[in-house]
Structure 1
Amino acid sequence: MTAVVLVHGLYHRPEHFTLVARCLRSKGIEVVVPELHRGSLTADTAAVQAAVDGLRQPPLVLGHSYGGSVITGVRGARHLVYLAAFVLDAGESAAAWGGSSRQFQDAVVQEPDGSTSLRPERAAGPLYGDCPEPLAAWAVGLLRAQAPGCGRGVPEYHSWQRTPSTYVVCALDRAVAPDVQRTMASRCTEVREWRTGHSPFVGRPELIVGLVRELLPDARVAPPGGAPA
């Protein structure tokens, strides 16, 4: 069975991939969406590695935003997809790369316990600004607090140096600067550019499904439809 592992970014949950995962599963594709928020990049990477190791064949592994830092450290993927994501080299961290917009920074709230969260009224613009309002509201409602330090984590392994990879630049991104994405994309085997915001898995899930169909030619996939239940 063809398999796909979808890796979310900071503040997000596996449920943010609902539209994409629903369609892929309906076509007989095994989809695993690990929960991150394990407290560090090392722990998040271990969670995704366990998901990859539990599959019967090497999967396509897609990482969104911070999820790119995570999949960089994972071994055993068939193909890597970096979606507006961080492609880190030796000694690098997502925090050191930066690239977050002022609009996104203004949405961040420092919590008393050292974690951060996003103001709901300010998060929709940078994360889901190109999505229909009902979908954006649904996605904002799923956001959760983020433990400190994950973005400063440095991968111990660099899978993109050995595994075929595709980078998707989100050209209308208002969370991570597209020019920063393009610089990191140069490390990947190939580069695509979509006229979307930061989170096409919410507003344009058919683009991701189509990319999976192209990169996994043995997978017969149809575009998803409808809003999440």
Structure 2
Amino acid sequence: MNRRKFTTGMVAGAITAALAARANATQPAVTGARNVVLVHGLFADGSCWSEVILRLQAAGLNVTSVQNPLTTLPDAVASAQRVLARQDGPTVLVGHSFSGMIVTEAGTNPNVTALVYVAARAPDAEEDYTALAKTFPAPPASAGIVFDGDEGRLTEEAFLRDFAGDLPIAKARELFAVQVPFHKDLLAGKTAHAAWRSKPSFYAVSTQDRTINPGLQRYMAKRMGATTIEIEASHLSLISHPDVITNLIPRAAKQAV
């Protein structure tokens, strides 16, 4: 073999190996539960988890993002339960925003071994979440919800300012363009069970949140005895700080077994 080609090949191989090692070093080490089910909330769809999904898959986890129908709470819980039933072992169930209601109810599934709430609702069994939320100052995004008949959505101004306030404006507008309206009946649902009372729970508080009051988030996290982190982020910390959210999930997976 030509010596120059041989030397060049060795150098190229060493560089490739070094880059691969560096990439692997940035991913969280994973032990315990190998499955993660992600659930989205209002004003979004399952693709809002894309940045987190890429990172979890790189860490070797099996990830599924549920497409929440945003119709009624029973419908939404059923959609999550169908995905949970397909998992082949211990599973971390993760919810953002409204889907904390789904995590709280569907988290009783025997496949679920840990719960992660990302700026999410975390009601107790049969609790009126709306009444609970009213004990804290109303977040600005509430004033930006408009209805077309039974379908609700955020105005563009509220979406950009109060929902996705720490994202680049182009990204926020992209997300606004695919906003999924929710049905009014969805907000009337109550959870019959509170999975966080029997499952290890983790909570990521968004300190700059204008969609769910940060004080309310801290209250719910403390009440459930959750392992809690705080992120200087808008309601969409899963997009603006995907590394932080991603790193929390393997911690939940380790606690699950």
- Which TM-score tier does this pair reach, normalised by the shorter chain? 0.7 to 0.9
Code of the residue aligned with 1:154 in structure 2: it is K
- Return 5+ residue gaps in structure 2 as ranges: 1-32
Code of the residue aligned with 1:161 in structure 2: it is R
Superposed, which structure 2 residues align to 1:107-122 within 5 Å?
Answer: 107-112=144-149, 114-122=150-158
Superposed, which structure 2 residues align to 1:160-179 within 5 Å?
Answer: 160-179=196-215
Question: Which residue in the other structure is 1:16 paired with?
Answer: 48
Question: Which residue in the other structure is 1:190 paired with?
Answer: 227
Decide whether aligned partners of structure 1 residues 189 and 119 sit closer, same or farther in structure 2, where only a CA change above 3 A counts: closer
What count of residue pairs does the alignment treat as equivalent? Answer: 217
Matching residue within 91, 98, 120 for 1:59: 91
Question: Which residue in the other structure is 2:26 paired with?
Answer: none
Is residue 116–residue 249 contact of structure 2 (8 Å, CA) maintained in 1? no
Deviation at 1:200, TM superposition (A): 0.8
Q: Which moved more, 1:97-106 or 1:129-138?
A: 97-106
Is residue 139–residue 213 contact of structure 2 (8 Å, CA) maintained in 1? no
1: CA distance between counterparts of 2:239 and 2:118? 13
Superposed, which structure 2 residues align to 1:1-229 within 5 Å?
Answer: 2-74=34-106, 75-76=109-110, 77-98=112-133, 101-112=138-149, 114-186=150-222, 187-217=224-254
Higher percent of residues as helix: 2
1: CA distance between counterparts of 2:52 and 2:231? 17
Is residue 135–residue 203 contact of structure 1 (8 Å, CA) maintained in 2? no
Which of the pair has more CA radius of gyration? 2
SS in structure 2 opposite 1:110? strand
Deviation at 1:217, TM superposition (A): 4.7
Q: In percent, how many aligned pairs have the same letter?
A: 25
Decide whether aligned partners of structure 1 residues 150 and 141 sit closer, same or farther in structure 2, where only a CA change above 3 A counts: same
Aligned CA-pair RMSD: 1.9
Code of the residue aligned with 2:168 in structure 1: it is P
SS in structure 1 opposite 2:193? coil
Deviation at 1:163, TM superposition (A): 0.4
SS in structure 1 opposite 2:175? helix
Deviation at 1:125, TM superposition (A): 1.1
Is residue 6–residue 34 contact of structure 1 (8 Å, CA) maintained in 2? yes
Deviation at 1:213, TM superposition (A): 3.2
- Return 5+ residue gaps in structure 1 as ranges: 219-229
Is residue 17–residue 202 contact of structure 1 (8 Å, CA) maintained in 2? yes
1: CA distance between counterparts of 2:176 and 2:232? 21
SS in structure 2 opposite 1:33? strand
Residues 195-219 of structure 1: per-residue CA shift (max 9 Å, x gap): 111111111111111112333359x
Question: Which residue in the other structure is 2:22 paired with?
Answer: none
